[in-house]
Amino acid sequence: MNGHSYDGKPEVQPVLIGGRWQPASLAGAFQAYNPASGERLLEVYPISSWEDLEKALSESSKIKLELARTSPEKIASFLRIYAELLEKNEEAITQMAHLETALPLKSRLKSTEFPRMLNQLRQAAAAVEERSWCQATIDTRLNIRAKYGPLGGAVVIFSPNNFPLAFNAVAGSDLASAVATGNPVICKAHPGHPGTTRLMAECLLQALEQSGMPASTVQMLYHFGNEDGFRLVSHPAVAAVAFTGSRAAGLRLKEVAERAGKLFYGELSSVNPVFFLPGILREKAAELALEHFSSCSLGCGQFCTKPGLVIFINDEPGRRFLWKLQQIFNQPLSGYLLSPAVLDNLKKAVEKLKAAGAVLLAGGHQIDAPGFQFQTTLFAITGEQFLKDPATFQQEAFGTLEVAVVVDDVEQMVRVAVSLEGNLTASIYYNPSDEDEEIYRRLEPAVRLKVGRLLNNKMPTGVAVTPAMHHGGPYPATGHPGFTSVGFPAAFLRFAARYCYDNLPEEHLPEELRSKNPNGRMWRLVDGTWTRSDI
């Protein structure tokens, strides 16, 4: 939550409060960086004082009842119009994102992340309109009926640094889910890409106006101080918080929010272990080393699903795999880290691993060149070292940094799996031989309990936007292993409350719970049977 102060008095960008752009109440100002040059960009953005946050909270409170009564069709219209407006402004948005993050324009921002953002908004619109997400449940004998609905307060979204488009606070899955369920939203931009967020928020404001949604449905502040952040997430007008970022910052917010009785959904950290069994390494060690490195280095290792631990047995295939991995990690790789903070944290991670006795096999140093660059880095430890100090060797570090855990045997591999913290993902690579199948059956139950998404013979860095996707996991990957931030309509339920109606007459029930199915398409659980039929 720390920004970059600016001592001069240039023009400062306005904030989006109450359905209009207005001057911020300044506690300070900051500038974003160009990671490719290491220089600050010219535009200056506000660090808001509590006055701005208080205004936003007041505006959210004013419209929460109107928003709760807004039809699914109008909400879906907003999401679709928003996607269309973003699409029309693709060039300006992706160019700004490239400038502020140095992420590749063609291979990442334009071809992958921007289409994903649009797809998410449109999938959310379809799910809202279809209505099955609310899980309408009807007991006709007792005349008790239930469904999911809005929380009754604002959802506060903290934007991460590594996905300037698809996870941006003003356009990502959290935003789509919170609006879809009828909640007002207060977005905090990430200080790494404020210009990108501003361009997208301009489209958002137009979409609110064109769809007829309440003007204060979504509001956006660029930055604010830590204490104001704590005050915000514990405020009576706030119902829930969505945070994606560092474990340290997330845990501080989580403690304050939950002490005040607020829902807190935090994606906090993950090392995404990858297990290679001996049979498949014997078959294609060199090929798998390259595949693994490609996943670890994707986006310069700045993905939440980046594999940070690789575990294999200290036998001939394992040693050949490690030798090949070391060769690949010692090759230069172009790309930039997102900010000086990411660079500093990577340096600290390297020093901590060295101090813990890990052997440096490749990299380990900042690159002496313009911008924020660091060598691809590989460490190796034994299974015994890991088991003696598992916490130290499971620290998430953005950047192409990995720890190879070389275990003595299958038994030690299973013990390493049992010692893992909660993760977003884990992968097990194996072949159909009797050897690997036997090991898999011993290993998989231990791994399964530690992760949200288990992959076989597949790297974890691709996160498909599909209803079946689960992007979550046991603590500390997230705070609530039963919820996902990707995949509709499941992601909606983070920001929904269960409403029960006991013996209400038909005319006083929500449309979803009346005898007639409101659109003929939504699924309802009527007397224990899922059906689309009228009652």
Catalytic residue numbers read 267, 304
Give the E-state strand segments of 430-493 in sequence order. 451-456
Q: Are 320 and 284 in contact (CB under 8 A)?
A: no
State how far the Cα of 222 lies from the Cα of 24, in Å rounded to an integer: 10
Name residue 30's amino acid: F
Contacts of 196 (CB under 8 A, 6+ apart): 93, 96, 97, 100, 101, 164, 165, 168
The Cβ of residue 14 has, within 10 Å, a number of other Cβ atoms equal to 15
Distance of alpha carbon 159 from alpha carbon 298, whole angstroms: 21
Q: Any idea what DSSP says for residue 394?
A: G
Within 13 A of 496's CA, how many CA atoms are on the CB side?
23
Residues in the chain: 535
Q: Which is nearest to 226 in space by CA: 234, 218, 238? A: 234
Residue type, 365: H
Task: Quote the Cα angle for 178-105-191, to 5°.
Answer: 50
Amino acid at 359: V
CB atoms within 10 A of CB 263: 20
Per DSSP, the three-state class of 64 is: helix
* Cα gap 374→137, rounded to integer Å: 54
Decide: helix, strand or coil at residue 505: coil
